[in-house]
Amino acid sequence: MAAATPGRVRTGLEVLLGSGAALLKKKQYGLVCNAASVDGSLRHAAELLLHAGEGRLAGLFGPEHGVTAEAQDMAPVEGATDARTGLPVHSLYGAGEDSLAPPSGSLRGLDLLVFDLQDVGARYYTFTATMAAAMEACARDGVGFVVLDRPNPLGGLEAEGNIVREPFRSFVGRSPLPVRHGMTCGELARFFNEVLEIHCSLTVVPMEGWRRDLWFDGTGLPWVPPSPNMPTLDTATVYPGTCLIEGTNLSEGRGTTRPFEWVGAPYLDPHELSEGLCGRALPGVTFRPLRFTPAFHKWSGKSCGGVQLHVTDRSTFKPFLTGLAILSEARRLAPARFEWRREAYEFVSDRLAIDLLLGDEGVRHALERGERVETIQESWQAELSSFQRRSERFHLY
């Protein structure tokens, strides 16, 4: 492989290949991957591993959005044959909850399952839930699990939010994590293996050159959208807060050129929303009033009044706090029109989507009582501090 740019982070994929892929010697293995599973020169992991000269890559496994990262959110993806490599593709996100782990028989004959997905640093993003489910399947079937580590795009210093409560575990929160966890996939795999008592045969191939203070744009690596509505690092920066909009009848900007950065609804006045949010003096962010018309998804074809989030200082920006503030302000401005989503969400129909996203109905209740979001934030600080102390022993960097 080509030499890395001096000072650039080398992903676990590149470290593995740089070692001659000795870990894969005489092994038959599968690869959990998607379009963002590339090296620093944008070469895909599947093709690189096929030509690595060690072991045999026997199949691909695709998370939500598929191996091509083109399916929209919560859209079922079927198994297929990869056109480029000719390998079978097993879907890890189908039409039901039982489709969220490797399909029956798909691990048969494998010695290893290799995981190489780019996470975005937020509990809701389903790739780490896919990782945990795959680890459980490997533990059951006696297959080794290998994580090729990649950066947390938001760095590894900050954590934010409450911890998921047991009754609200789901595919957007199946593990006891805060919303912004500050860990890499390799570190989370170590955490899951012990805390969730999976006890699979786990190997993590760490990155080289990554530090906890590095955001993705400090790594020297190219950003490839890991899903259709995660086009840029700007999107990932606000996502730990504005993903909460999915649990409401507001648009989170899907169907526009700025998903998760634009939020609104036809029943909101953009200037009132902007002025209300700016008046809250939230750290590291300001808001611009705008109108937008989603081409698909919520309020498709309808003009929405809303705001664009402009992060002015990401070192102080609190995305989850900001997301709660948007919910609070929208409810204040349109109490008769604002609604929590009632439809099934991530295969769960007996609990509100917002409670699954928040991981606890108590936060919703506090919003409904009109509590200040800063007061709500104070309520989880003790458990967040405890999580941060406990998670340190799983850190690799």
Segment 324-345, tens digit of pLDDT:
999 999 999 999 999 999 999 9
Q: SS3 for 367?
A: helix
What percent of the chain has pLDDT above 90?
97
Dist. CA 163–CA 27, nearest whole Å: 38
Residue 3's pLDDT is what?
A: 46
253 and 343: one domain?
yes
Tens of pLDDT, residue by residue over 113-135, are 999 999 999 999 999 999 999 99
pTM of the predicted protein model = 0.96
In the structure, what pLDDT confidence band is assigned to residue 1 with cuts at 50, 70 and 90? Answer: very low
Dist. CA 328–CA 348, nearest whole Å: 24
Instruction: List residues bridging with 285 in a β-sheet.
Output: 311
Q: In the predicted model, is pLDDT for residue 364 greater than 80? A: yes
172 and 208: one domain?
yes
Q: Which two tokens stand for residue 91?
A: 């879907």
Dist. CA 21–CA 23, nearest whole Å: 5
The answer to whether residue 337 sits within a structural domain is yes
158 and 264: one domain?
no
347 and 247: one domain?
yes
The answer to whether residue 196 sits within a structural domain is yes
241 and 218: one domain?
no
In the structure, what pLDDT confidence band is assigned to residue 5 with cuts at 50, 70 and 90? Answer: low
The answer to whether residue 210 sits within a structural domain is yes
Residue 2's pLDDT is what?
A: 42
Q: In the predicted model, is pLDDT for residue 78 greater than 70? A: yes
The CATH number covering residue 199 comes to 3.40.50.12170
Structural domain that includes position 144: 12-222
195 and 105: one domain?
yes
The CATH number covering residue 354 comes to 3.90.1150.140
**Which residues have C-beta within 8 Å of that of residue 135, sequence separation ≥ 6?**
145, 189, 192, 193, 198, 200, 202
The answer to whether residue 102 sits within a structural domain is yes
The answer to whether residue 380 sits within a structural domain is no
Looking at the structure of the chain, the number of domains it has is 2
Strand positions, DSSP E, the chain: 28-32, 56-62, 80-81, 88-91, 112-115, 144-148, 202-205, 262-265, 285-292, 304-311
198 and 177: one domain?
yes
Task: Tell me the one-letter amino acid at 364.
Answer: R
Q: In the predicted model, is pLDDT for residue 104 greater than 90? A: no
